[in-house]
Chain A
Amino acid sequence: MDVVVGQLLAGLSVGSVLLLAAVGMSLTFGQMGIINMAHGEFIMIGAYTVYMVQQFVSVAALSYVIAIPCAFLLAAAVGVLLEQGVLQFMYRRPLDTLLVTFGVSLILQQAARDIFGAPAVAINIPEFLSGHVSLLGAAIPVSRILIIVLAMVLVLLVSWLLKATQVGRRMRAVTVNRELAEVSGIPTRRTDRLTFALGSGLAGIAGVAITLIGSTTPTLGSNYIVYAFLVVVAGGLSSIWGAVIAAVALGIVQSAIAFGTTQSIATWVSFLLVVLFLQWRPQGIFSLKTRSLA
């Protein structure tokens, strides 16, 4: 019994990491349709923000509290630069966008390598996060619980933002029908910029959380980019709740297979399952129903 609970919790925590990486992408890729290969590097920027903050703040817990808004702002700023400088010229040219953002991701990686050096930097993790607690007979690390909570908070925030605020309603309007939104007086360019900034900023926050479990290196983001795409596509491009279900399902499936077999097999089986799922349901778990689809 505690093995089952343990693996369910493991799956939940794996899923929440995937979800964190994918939340921002559900905006930039899901809502805007931009294939941003540099999304992983925004995660990396968030992770290095923790390192930079810790150069000035020696109390680990406090440094994390400060790092979260800093990472959001820094990643959002770089995101705006990318959107303004490059991407706005290539909307509706997905192949060009893919190649250009891939180039940008290499540039950002090399920049991090030049600034911080190639080896992983040392991050101080708050003392209370390094232990574990027992839950229903299974042990789960405190840092993983924090990540699950953080992922949930971010998802709730984003879904509230999309539903209940003017900015969010505009974002959705632009997604559903850009021309109609534009003739209704919505500043679509400004909305694009905001959406992209928000998506990038969320990647930055994901980076802060990821420093708790993995190493902080210039290539950290490339470990998560494929999973982020996978989660967003499987979830249904414009649905954040679809991403939640996809991430948790993927995490649990992966942990379950890994327990019976090995981690490598679990990785490729979970990829296979997503491919099969998309054959059956190409639009993902949830699809956006609009008149324009009819």
Chain B
Amino acid sequence: MHDHTSSRRRTLLPFMTAVAALGLVVSGCGSQVSTASGGSASASVKSCVDTSGSKIKIGFINSLSGTMAISEKTVRDSLDMAADEINKSGGVLGKQLDVQAADGASDPNTFAQKADQLIRQNCVAAVFGGWTSASRKAMKPVFEKDNSLLYYPVQYEGMESSPNIYYTGAAPNQQIVPALDWMKSKGFKKLFLVGSDYVFPRTANKIIQAYAKANGMTVVDEQYVPLGGTDFTTIVNKLKDSGADAVFNTLNGDSNVAFFRQFASMGFNSTTMPTISVSIAEQEIPGVGLDNLKGQYTAWDYYQTLDTEQNKKFVSDFKARYGQDRVTSDPMEAAYVSLYLWKAAVEKANSFDVDKVKANSDGISFDAPEGKVTVDGENHHVYKTPRIGQVNSAGLIDTIWQTPSPLKPDPYLKDYDWAKGLS
């Protein structure tokens, strides 16, 4: 007797495990940290960078596919623009930049592997890119082992400083702490924390908890959703009952859309429940929906609306190159700046040699679109000006508060008494 149905059913069920496992891998960003290509390599690798010709190779590594492509593609665009600008004005030490592009594919392992390839096979003088902390943590041992340079352009949770990485985005004291200072000055006492469940929001919320404790604020609830999660019914219900007077939002990417939709449909807006977001920039606003975000607050160091000569040129050049409907954002600007900071350090060192570039990086500065940025030679972060912004009706962000001068980067929050024990 033929027994197809039952045999098929028995064979199908075990596959569910495989399907579910595969799906989980696909839907979540892998958060595992890996070292590239095993640990067999020798302690120090002789650099193979070729400085003899009229060109010098540099590497760009960004995710052009996978979940992170949404953000990282824009960073690649501004890196490309910076490289072309530098080439048009004569290159670096008279050499034209020869960009070697790699796709990190939103996967930390791929980042580590491609970074290794860029350094050892393509023999690039420096690498620019990375976005998620997982991708940076995966690449860190590669750059340290091969003694090469990575310029990382995104604000992050801090608690890190590598001799081979320059961090051109905000350290926590240049984004999270100023945001809290501003909230305190506005009289917000009860904070509701919502974030994606991975390293940045978890660390950021630890900092917020410590700050709140020391400053007479209370955290009424701390909620996480899995990366990419879109179910906020329960969280918004909790927010309603929590008695909070402001929300600190560390959600990443697509989850913001679902959160703000649910938020708005339950009757909340920027007046009834001010929300400060640290991962929503100009580029994300149309996707989240301007109606849901109008009047809400953000914390960054750069906004497209900044009124500096350098920024006007940056914005108009970018639009001329990529289209009038494109916007510029903080990570894009930080990436653009990173290429110029490397150029300045190389020119000061008069060499592409990694150790010489590092030795000459301290105090290197650049008149960036966000204002003057200066490299701190000790912790490899940069002096930046924190700014609180408010989403306006054109879908851009206006600066409503900023520190009077650029702040010294403090990735380990060493200068703050309340932050003792965090790192």
Report the contact-size class of chain A (Cβ under 8 Å from the partner).
Answer: 35 or more
A264 interface neighbour in B22, B224, B261, Cβ under 8 Å? B224
Q: By DSSP majority rule, is chain A's interface helix, strand, loop, or mixed? A: helix
**A122 x B16 contact (CB < 8 A):** no
Q: Tell me the complex Cα distance, A78–B66, Å.
A: 22
Residues of B within 8 A of A95 (CB): 15
- Segment from B113-121, B279-287, B352-360, B370-378 that makes contact with A: B279-287
In the complex, which residue of chain A has the Cβ closest to the Cβ of B9?
A237
B268-317 interface (Cβ within 8 A of A): 283-284, 286-291
B11 within 8 Å of A by Cβ?
A: yes
Q: Tell me the complex Cα distance, A251–B408, Å.
A: 48
A187 within 8 Å of B by Cβ?
A: no
Residues of A within 8 A of B2 (CB): 177, 179, 292
- Bits for B178-206, please: 1 = Cβ < 8 Å to A, else 0: 00000000000000000001000000000
Residues of A within 8 A of B265 (CB): 129-132, 141-144
B261 interface neighbour in A177, A178, A213, A283, Cβ under 8 Å? A213
**A141 x B230 contact (CB < 8 A):** no
**A10 x B15 contact (CB < 8 A):** no
B319 within 8 Å of A by Cβ?
A: no
**B6 x A292 contact (CB < 8 A):** yes
B66-96 interface (Cβ within 8 A of A): 66-67, 69-71, 73-74
B159 within 8 Å of A by Cβ?
A: no
**B15 x A94 contact (CB < 8 A):** yes
A98 within 8 Å of B by Cβ?
A: yes
A14 interface neighbour in B1, B5, B233, Cβ under 8 Å? B233
A217 interface neighbour in B1, B234, B254, Cβ under 8 Å? B254
Q: Tell me the complex Cα distance, A6–B66, Å.
A: 36
A255 within 8 Å of B by Cβ?
A: yes
Smallest CB separation, A278 vs chain B (Å): 7
In the complex, which residue of chain A has the Cβ closest to the Cβ of B68?
A118
A153 within 8 Å of B by Cβ?
A: no
**B22 x A259 contact (CB < 8 A):** no
**A263 x B235 contact (CB < 8 A):** yes
Q: Tell me the complex Cα distance, A37–B257, Å.
A: 25
A259 interface neighbour in B13, B237, B254, Cβ under 8 Å? B237
Residues of A within 8 A of B289 (CB): 122-123, 125
In the complex, which residue of chain A has the Cβ closest to the Cβ of B72?
A118
Q: Tell me the complex Cα distance, A121–B254, Å.
A: 11
B228 within 8 Å of A by Cβ?
A: yes
In the complex, which residue of chain A has the Cβ closest to the Cβ of B230?
A214
Residues of A within 8 A of B97 (CB): none
Smallest CB separation, B358 vs chain A (Å): 34
A283 in contact with B70 given A14-B231, A122-B287 (CB within 8 Å): no
A85 within 8 Å of B by Cβ?
A: no
B1-24 interface (Cβ within 8 A of A): 1-6, 8-9, 11-13, 15-16, 18-20, 22-24
B241 interface neighbour in A3, A14, A125, A262, Cβ under 8 Å? A3
Residues of A within 8 A of B22 (CB): 37, 98, 102
B403 within 8 Å of A by Cβ?
A: no
**B15 x A258 contact (CB < 8 A):** no
A98 interface neighbour in B18, B70, B223, B267, Cβ under 8 Å? B18
Residues of B within 8 A of A23 (CB): none
A226 in contact with B23 given A177-B4, A233-B16 (CB within 8 Å): yes
Instruction: Give the most central of A14, A142, A237, A264: most B CB within 10 Å.
Output: A264
Smallest CB separation, A174 vs chain B (Å): 10
A144 in contact with B65 given A132-B267, A229-B23 (CB within 8 Å): no
Q: Tell me the complex Cα distance, A217–B241, Å.
A: 32
Q: Tell me the complex Cα distance, A174–B230, Å.
A: 37
**A264 x B237 contact (CB < 8 A):** no
Residues of B within 8 A of A120 (CB): 70, 254, 257, 284, 286-288
Smallest CB separation, B67 vs chain A (Å): 5
Q: Tell me the complex Cα distance, A219–B15, Å.
A: 23
Residues of B within 8 A of A3 (CB): 237, 241
A263 interface neighbour in B229, B254, B264, B291, Cβ under 8 Å? B229
Residues of B within 8 A of A144 (CB): 233, 265
Q: Tell me the complex Cα distance, A212–B264, Å.
A: 12
Residues of A within 8 A of B240 (CB): 139
Q: Tell me the complex Cα distance, A94–B228, Å.
A: 28
B298-346 interface (Cβ within 8 A of A): none
Smallest CB separation, A104 vs chain B (Å): 13
A7 in contact with B234 given A98-B19, A102-B22, A237-B9 (CB within 8 Å): yes
What are 17 inter-chain pairs, A to B, with CB distance below 8 A?
A7-B234, A121-B286, A144-B233, A177-B2, A215-B230, A219-B254, A220-B254, A258-B234, A262-B223, A263-B226, A263-B234, A264-B197, A266-B234, A267-B229, A271-B20, A292-B1, A292-B4
Interface residues of B (CB under 8 A from A): 1-6, 8-9, 11-13, 15-16, 18-20, 22-24, 26-27, 65-67, 69-71, 73-74, 197, 223-226, 228-231, 233-235, 237-238, 240-241, 254, 256-258, 261-262, 264-267, 283-284, 286-291
**Additional A-B contacts beyond A131-B267, A263-B197 (14; CB < 8 A):** A10-B233, A14-B233, A94-B15, A120-B257, A120-B287, A132-B265, A144-B233, A219-B66, A219-B67, A223-B254, A225-B26, A229-B20, A237-B12, A255-B234
The 3 A-B pairs with the shortest beta carbon distances in the complex, nearest first, are: A120-B287, A215-B257, A141-B265
Interface residues of A (CB under 8 A from B): 3, 6-7, 10, 13-14, 17, 33, 35, 37, 92, 94-95, 98, 102, 110, 113, 118-123, 125, 129-132, 139, 141-144, 175-179, 212-217, 219-220, 222-223, 225-226, 229-230, 233, 237, 254-255, 258-259, 262-264, 266-267, 271, 278, 282-283, 288, 290, 292-293
